[in-house]
Amino acid sequence: MKLSLNEKHQEIMKGILQGASKGGIAGAAASLATGAAVILTAPAWLPFVGGTMAVSAATVSAWTAGGAAIGAVGNATRRYWNIKKQETIFKKEFGIE
- pLDDT of 41 > 80? The answer is no
Question: Distance of alpha carbon 30 from its chain centroid, rounded?
Answer: 12
Going by C-alpha positions, the residue among 31, 52, 54 that lies closest to residue 43 is 52
Confidence band of 82 (pLDDT split at 50, 70, 90): very high
Whether pTM exceeds 0.85: no
- For 56: left if phi > 0, alpha if psi spans -120 to 50, otherwise beta; the answer is beta
